[in-house]
Structure 1
C-alpha cells in the first residue's frame, strides 16, 4: 500500500511539474503574442496634405475626421493656403526636400513641368480599375493628367470658366437697376457699378476683387477678351486666332480699359488691392459690393455664411461693338498628386480613394462647392438654385477649347521648358487697377514679344532633346470660336 502511495505521489509531482512548465510556456507564448500584437497594427503615420481649397474648408474638416476614424493609424495634417501663398510655399518645400505627401499643381503650371521637376510619382500602381472607372470620360488623358502613359494627377472638379459675374440683387434694386436684366455690355456694366457706388454712399461699392491674387486678374483678361475675339485660352500662351501672343490686341486692351475705367469712376471697393480672393468674397457676402468676378465654389460659402444674401449669376459683359467669341472652357486640368518623395504612398492613395468617393463628392456638390468629376454625382446631388444657374450660364456662354497637349502629347516637353515672362497679364491689370500703371499699351507689347520669344526658345530646346514637336502644333485650323473642340476635331486635324 505504501508503494502505491509512493507511486501516486510521484505521479502528482510529475503532473504539477508539467503544469508549471506549461504555465511558464503559456506565459512566454502570451508575452510573445502580445509583442507580436503590438507590432502587427500598421505603424502610426502622419499624412501631410496642402492646397488652397478654402471654400471646401468646413467639409474637408469633417472629411478628415471621418478618414482618421476609418483609418486610425493615419493622422492627417492639413495646411490650407491662398493660391498665391501656395505657389511660393510648395516650391520652397520641394527645393528643401520637405514636400507634403499630397499636393496640387500650382495654378497655371503644366503637368509636364511638375513631372520634369520631380514633383510627383505615378499613381497607377496604387489606384485600381474600380477607382478609375468612377470618373467621367476624359478625366484621364495623355497630355493633361497622364504623362508618358502614366497617371500623375487627378482633377479637382468639372472645369468651367471661373470668370462669371455674381451680382447683388438688393444693391441693384437700391440703385434703380433691374436684377432680372443684368448688364450685357462693357458700358452697361461700368454704368451699373458706378450707379451702385453713388447710391450706396460709402456703405457699398460697384465691384470688389481679390486684388492681391494675381491669377484672378489674369483669368479675367484671358476669358473676357476671348468674348471680344482675342482667341486667348488657358491651354496655350498664344492666340488661336493669330497664332502668336497678341496680348496687345484690341480685345485685350478693351478689357484693360474697362477695368481702368471702373477704377477711375471710383467704383472699386477701396480695400480691393489689399484683399486675397477669399477676403473679397467675404465682403461681397456682407453686401459691400454689387459685382464680383469668381467661380461656382463661392455659392456654397455664401449660402452657408450669408443666408440672407440675394444674388444672381450673369455672363461677363461683352464689348459695346458686339460679341466675337465665347468663354474658353478648359479641358480637365491636373490637380492633386502624390509627392515623389513621400514615405507613405499607400496611405496617400487611401486618402485619394476616400476623397474621390461618391459620398464626399456628393457633399461638395450638394453644398454648392463644385461640380464633381465623378459619374452621376452632379445630376443626383445638385440642389442650390444659384449653383445650377452658374452651370447653365457657363455652358451657354463657353465653348470647349482645343488643347495643344491633347493634340500632341510630346508638346509637354515644350511646357516643361517654357516660363511665363514677367510681369505677366495679371500683373499688368493689377498694376492698372492699383494705379501703379497709367497705360498698359507698352507693357502689353513687351509681354507679347517676350512670350513669343520664350515659346520659340522652349520649342527649339525641346526639339534639340528629341521631342517630335513643331510650332504648327499650336495652330488649329479647324477651330471655330463658337463650337466645342471635340475628339472629332482632333481626329480631323491629325490627318
Structure 2
C-alpha cells in the first residue's frame, strides 16, 4: 500500500500521479517499540463470523510492501475473529499491479478489494465498471472517523456515492533522506544538509568520491516511472512551475508547461548527478523498495522517498543514522511549494465481488484506530483517521518528515472538486507517452542527452489531449470548460480551502 498518507488524485497518463501510490507503499514498524496490530473495530464488535454461514475466501490485492509484516498480523487476527472468512492477500510492486489488475478485470477474475492504479482516474475506473459504491455497506459511524475531505465529490465520490477510501493523509513523497555517517565520511555537516541544486550536486559528488566504490551520492528505484515523474513535478513546483498531480496543466501558466525552465532545471540537476557518476550503478535496474534497502545498508547518501520508508529502516536497519531534508531548490531561490493533493482514491470494492458484506468487514477492521495507530507508530504512514497522527507518532524522523512537509507544501486545488462533471473529461483523456517521468528516466539512463525537445513534444500533446477530452465530454452532455482548470484565486503560498472553491468565479 503506501504509508498512511500517501498517494494521490490520479490523472490518466503523465498529467497526474497518485500520491501516494506511485510511491513504494507503506513501511513496517519496529516490533520492539510499536506493539502488534489487533484487528478490532466497529464491525467486529457486532459479529464474530462471516455475515453468511458459509466459508468465504476474500481476495485482496495491492502494492503495500512496507506494510507487509503488519498486514500479515492483521490478516491473522481478522481470520481468528471471523473464522468463516479466509483472506487471500496478494502483494505486488506498483508496476506489476497496474498490469495484473487490468488483465484480471478483463478476464473476469478481479479480486474482491483492490486499489485504483496510478495511471487511472476514479471516473474512468467507475465508467469501466471496476468498482461498486460502498454506501450500502458502510454507516455514518464508520465514515465519521475519517478526516475532513476524505470523501469528496470528484475525488473519492462520484454522483454522490463513495467508491473508494484513501490510503493515508496527503503528504508529498519527494522529500530527501540522507545518510549522516556518509556525510561525516565526506567531510559534510550532517546537521546542515544542502539547500540548493548546486549544493545538492556537490554533496552527492563528495559522498561518491569518499565512498570509493562502496557508497554513492544518490540511489533511486530507476525502474519505476512514477518515482521519476513525481520528482520532476514536485521539485519543479518548488521552482514555481505550478505543476501538480491533480491537473494536466499548470496553475501558473494554465497550460502544460513541462518544457518550462523549472522542469528543465530539475532535469539538469539529475543530468549533472549522472554526469558526475553520483548515481549508484544499480539505480536503473531496481525498484523503489530495492533502492530503499540499499540505502538502508549505507550504500548511498541520498534517496527520494516517502515517510513510509522510515519504519522499514527502523526495523531492518536499526543502526542507520539518517536525517530528513526538504528537496533542494533552484540556486535563485524557492519560487513555490510542493503541491499537496486533496485525498486521493485508493482501495475500492470490485463490481463483480460475490462477497460485498465480507469485503466491507475487512475495510471496517482495516480502517480502525487500533490498526491504523500501529502503522503510524511504526513510521509507515500518516493516517487518514482523525487524531491518530497526533496520538501515535513516536519516531523522531517521522515527526521531522511531517514538519518539513507542512512547511514546504501547500494544498492545491482539485478541478474535479470544483466541477464534478470533469469526471467525463478525465475519463476521455488519452494517455500521453513518453511522459515526463519517462523523459527524466531517459536522462538519468543517458538515453536522452537534451530533454528540451522531448518535453516540448510532451507538453504540446498534453494540451491537445486535454482539449480533445473536453470536446468529447461536451459532446456527451457534460457541462465543462477549459476554465474549470484555471483557479484565479489560487496563491502558491496558501492552502486552497473549501471556502476558496465556493468563492471562485
- Tell me whether 1:235 sits opposite 2:246 in the alignment: yes
CA positional deviation for 1:41: 6.6
Q: Which residue of 2 aligns with 1:3?
A: none
CA positional deviation for 1:420: 2.6
Residue deviations 1:427-459 (CA, integer Å, cap 9, x gap): 000111011111111110100011001100000
Structure 2 spans left out of the alignment, 5+ residues: 1-49
Q: Secondary structure at the match of 1:387?
A: helix
Q: Distance in 2 between matches of 1:490 and 1:483?
A: 14
Moved more, 418-427 or 146-155: 418-427
CA positional deviation for 1:108: 4.1
| Structure with higher RCO (Cα < 8 A, 6+ apart) | 2
CA RMSD of aligned residues (A): 1.1
Q: 1:376 aligns with which of 387, 393, 410?
A: 387
Is contact 2:155-2:343 (8 Å) kept?
Answer: yes
- Tell me whether 1:364 sits opposite 2:369 in the alignment: no
Q: Distance in 1 between matches of 2:52 and 2:202?
A: 66
Q: Secondary structure at the match of 2:433?
A: coil
Structure 1 spans left out of the alignment, 5+ residues: 1-38
Question: What TM-score do you get using the length of structure 1 for normalisation?
Answer: 0.91
- Tell me whether 1:475 sits opposite 2:486 in the alignment: yes
Q: 2:70 aligns with which of 59, 73, 85?
A: 59
Q: Which residue of 1 aligns with 2:272?
A: 261
Q: Which residue of 2 aligns with 1:201?
A: 212
CA positional deviation for 1:117: 1.0
Change (3 A) 1:225 1:40: closer
Residue deviations 1:216-261 (CA, integer Å, cap 9, x gap): 0000000000011110000001101111100100000000010011
Is contact 2:194-2:200 (8 Å) kept?
Answer: yes
CA positional deviation for 1:44: 0.7
Q: 2:177 aligns with which of 166, 171, 176?
A: 166
- Tell me whether 1:176 sits opposite 2:187 in the alignment: yes
Is contact 2:51-2:358 (8 Å) kept?
Answer: no
Q: Secondary structure at the match of 1:77?
A: strand
Residue deviations 1:46-101 (CA, integer Å, cap 9, x gap): 11100011010000000000000001111111111111111111111111111110
Q: Which residue of 1 aligns with 2:286?
A: 275
Q: Distance in 1 between matches of 2:81 and 2:405?
A: 38
Is contact 2:221-2:287 (8 Å) kept?
Answer: yes
Q: Which residue of 2 aligns with 1:324?
A: 335
Q: Distance in 1 between matches of 2:474 and 2:138?
A: 34
Q: Which residue of 1 aligns with 2:140?
A: 129
Q: Which residue of 1 aligns with 2:222?
A: 211
- Tell me whether 1:400 sits opposite 2:400 in the alignment: no
Q: 2:96 aligns with which of 85, 102, 105?
A: 85
Q: Distance in 1 between matches of 2:258 and 2:200?
A: 23
Q: Which residue of 1 aligns with 2:10?
A: none
Q: Distance in 2 between matches of 1:222 and 1:389?
A: 23
Residue deviations 1:280-336 (CA, integer Å, cap 9, x gap): 000000000000001000000000000000000000000011111000011100000
CA positional deviation for 1:159: 0.8
Q: Which residue of 2 aligns with 1:291?
A: 302
Q: Secondary structure at the match of 1:270?
A: coil
Q: Distance in 2 between matches of 1:339 and 1:41?
A: 19
Q: Which residue of 2 aligns with 1:337?
A: 348
Q: Distance in 1 between matches of 2:335 and 2:430?
A: 29
Q: Distance in 2 between matches of 1:136 and 1:488?
A: 17
Residue deviations 1:180-203 (CA, integer Å, cap 9, x gap): 110000000000000000011001
- Tell me whether 1:424 sits opposite 2:435 in the alignment: yes
Change (3 A) 1:50 1:463: same
Q: Secondary structure at the match of 2:117?
A: coil
Q: Which residue of 2 aligns with 1:153?
A: 164
Report which of the two has the higher share of helix: 1
Q: Distance in 1 between matches of 2:120 and 2:397?
A: 30
Is contact 2:51-2:357 (8 Å) kept?
Answer: no
Larger radius of gyration: 1
CA positional deviation for 1:40: 11
Q: Distance in 1 between matches of 2:348 and 2:369?
A: 19
Query: Paired residues, what number?
Result: 456
Q: Distance in 1 between matches of 2:124 and 2:329?
A: 34
- Tell me whether 1:349 sits opposite 2:355 in the alignment: no
- Tell me whether 1:385 sits opposite 2:385 in the alignment: no
Q: Distance in 2 between matches of 1:489 and 1:129?
A: 27
